[in-house]
Chain A
Amino acid sequence: MNTKKDKTASVDWGSILRQASVPIMFIIICAICIPISGLSANMLVNEIVTRMGRNSFLILSLLIPIMAGMGLNFGMTLGAMAAEIALILVSDWQIVGIPGMVLAVIVSIPISILLGIFCGKILNEAKGREMITSYIMSFFVNGIYQLVVLYLMGSIIPIKHTSIKLPRGYGIRNTVSLLGMRQKLDNLLAINIAGVKIPVLTFIIIGLLCLFIVWFRRTKLGQDMRAVGQDMEVARDAGINVERTRIISIVMSTVLAGIGMVIYLQNMGNIATYSAHSQIGMFCIAALLVGGASVDRASIGNVFLGVILFHTMFIVAPRAGAYITGDSMIGEYFRVFVSYAVITVALIMYETNKRRMRSAAGQQLAAAQEAEEASAKGGEQA
């Protein structure tokens, strides 16, 4: 009994170290790059706080599908696209400031729900390959998004203002200015501490979402999701509607991603109509993984640690790269490479872990069977 306990304890240490390896690696990268980049502490903190406000909500939207065992939701891009469509419409209606943002959120939610249901249904058809399917899904919906924004807007969906319309009369320009909404949320209730602007209201909203997620985990639906994430068959036997639960988790994630994208874009102050969403999924997922999350386990702590570490690297890498090699492009490529490499490593670790667990479970089963057989034999002899 004693030896068994020791064994599990040592295994735990190993897995903790393995889990923490990515954050530790990033702390080292940041520690090396920060002095080289020559950025002042004030500026760096300012940038990081801004980016925390900008990205945290989006990254939090990834947590719910992970809970439901659907892996990293590359389909969060769907929510981002819904938000962009909503924002384009709202800026054409010329509703500015906080009311504009609220309206954009309201408009985005039904689109997000529709896309989420569609995505969830497709993912239910592709169980076990959710990630690659949601990834291709994001490309597919990007095609539809382009169809809507580039061809239908202005020709079928009325767009009045020429400032956002392409000169040819239909389609939306490459960038849509959100000047009327720019940082309206961030600046309301913002406080300044030693030259660092803290967007308090944005952080309050992010905090509320955290509280919601903590609360949601305890609800019946949240528990169901965890059960589905653990084992779909067992959950089904327990009377949980697996398919429905999975769809709900994707819909929630998509809706939250949509709201997150509105927050993100109000901070940026403009929409890059055809590219704003394309990188969002990748960067959010990379940030979450940098925070020490894995494909099947992620906490709110991972989100914030990830945002800080990932974006510190993001800010300092180009400058550090430029200083070391004399070419600013190196740093740019370096941070892109690191983002992809982190996701790759995390995916590999997840799959190898899964295999190890499976083979361990197999061995346990074999051992139990052997013991049973032995005892049965013993019984016979007796």
Chain B
Amino acid sequence: MKEKVMATLKNFGVPRLIITGFLLLLLIMAPFVGADLPTQISNIINRFSWNGILVLAMVPMVHSGCGLNFGLPLGIISGLLGATLSIELGFTGALSFLAAILIATPFALVLGAVYGWLLNKIKGGEMMIATYVGFSSVSFMCMMWLLLPYHSPNMVWGLSGKGLRTTISLEGYYNQALAGILQINIGNISIPTGTILFFALLAFGIWAFLHTKTGTAMTAVGSNPTFAKAAGINVDGIRMLSVIMSTWLAAVGILVYEQGFGFIQLYMAPFYMALPAVSAILIGGASVNKATIMNVIVGTILFQGIVTMTPTVMNNMIHMDMSEVIRIIASMGMILFALTRKTEVSK
């Protein structure tokens, strides 16, 4: 019995245990320090709905053995291109959200294909290169946001009439486009049903995909590439497909994030967006080469829980806002922990 408990503990991982315990502690303490629990829970649900798909974007690449997708910013950029072009082309209201997804898709497919091709060339070193592919693409797009001929007065700098602003308000466009659908309000709790349903739809899609023939092949490629090759699976093709899927999910993910947040953030904003998503899925129980939809859901709730709870609880308790520092240490510690786990996959 004791051994069994120890084994489960070991599987679960000490950092994960600490983080879960910490969140529970925060939840218990919240009412005592005068924080409004319903508002807090409502915040967590909301932030979960914004970030869920970005975290979900990790799953296909982890499954095919490409490791954690530190190159998430590449997909985010496709999404941002879709968002800005949709506004530039004059779409408004909820329609602009649909248009943004449709416009972002070809970008995500092309960029994802190039990215996947690159990752196939450098098997074994994916994570480091993914990080820098993300950085290079974000800094390259920094120049492009200034140079591309955007004209919509809602997006460009008022004074010079060119170059996109760093933040663009989505008021009148797709602000709350999904969240507004079937929104439930009980007292202080408001649940963005539409966004959660959209996340559920995509998550179900990925789950179903992973159980198709191609999806099983993807898992096989991730767990044993040599075996997969011997079984006649096109390893490079499957890996590329997984990267394209991840990139597209990231593109959709950022659009969903924006509709909740209400603003498009350009320039350096996507720079570090991969790290919260990576640590969220790891906190949820994933490892470098294994991730499930459940990991995504649990991880996002835990991570966003800490992000929203720490500032209020800590502030009320010791009048010191240490949330930022705690967030950095917890999330980076989690990534470090995952990277140091021995994985048997040989490439």
Chain B residues near A144 (CB, 8 Å)? Answer: 329
Chain B residues near A245 (CB, 8 Å)? Answer: none
Residue of A nearest to B125 (CB): A351
A347 touches B147 (CB 8 A): no
Residue of B nearest to A131 (CB): B128
Name the prevailing secondary structure of the B interface residues.
helix
Within 8 A of A (CB), among B174-209: none
Partner of B339, one of A133, A151, A336: A133
A125 touches B329 (CB 8 A): no
Assembled-state Cα–Cα distance A355/B125 (Å): 10
28 contacts between A and B (CB under 8 A): A126-B339, A126-B340, A131-B128, A132-B70, A132-B128, A133-B336, A135-B128, A136-B332, A136-B339, A140-B329, A140-B333, A143-B328, A144-B329, A146-B325, A146-B328, A151-B322, A325-B146, A337-B139, A340-B132, A340-B139, A343-B132, A344-B132, A347-B129, A348-B118, A348-B121, A351-B122, A351-B125, A354-B124
Chain B residues near A143 (CB, 8 Å)? Answer: 325, 328-329, 332
For the complex, is A373 an interface residue (Cβ under 8 Å from B)?
Answer: no
Q: How large is the interface on B (under 10, 10 to 19, 20 to 34, 35 or more residues)?
A: 35 or more
Residue of B nearest to A282 (CB): B135
Chain B residues near A151 (CB, 8 Å)? Answer: 320, 322, 325
Which residues of A approach B to under 8 Å, CB–CB?
122, 125-126, 128-129, 131-133, 135-137, 139-140, 142-144, 146-147, 150-151, 325, 327, 329-330, 333-334, 336-337, 340-341, 343-344, 347-348, 350-352, 354-355
**B103-120 interface mask toward A, CB cutoff 8 Å, 1 = contact, 0 = none?**
000000000000000100
Q: Known contacts A126-B340, A351-B121; decide if A132 and B322 are in contact (CB<8 Å).
A: no
Name the prevailing secondary structure of the A interface residues.
helix
Chain A residues near B336 (CB, 8 Å)? Answer: 122, 133, 136-137, 140
B146 touches A341 (CB 8 A): no
Assembled-state Cα–Cα distance A144/B324 (Å): 11
For the complex, is B163 an interface residue (Cβ under 8 Å from A)?
Answer: yes
For the complex, is B26 an interface residue (Cβ under 8 Å from A)?
Answer: no
Partner of A351, one of B70, B129, B335, B342: B129
B132 touches A347 (CB 8 A): yes
Q: Known contacts A133-B340, A139-B275; decide if A329 and B146 are in contact (CB<8 Å).
A: yes
- Seed contacts A143-B325, A327-B146; 10 additional CB < 8 Å A-B pairs: A125-B340, A128-B124, A140-B332, A143-B328, A147-B325, A347-B122, A347-B129, A350-B125, A351-B121, A352-B122
Assembled-state Cα–Cα distance A128/B122 (Å): 13
Chain B residues near A325 (CB, 8 Å)? Answer: 146-147
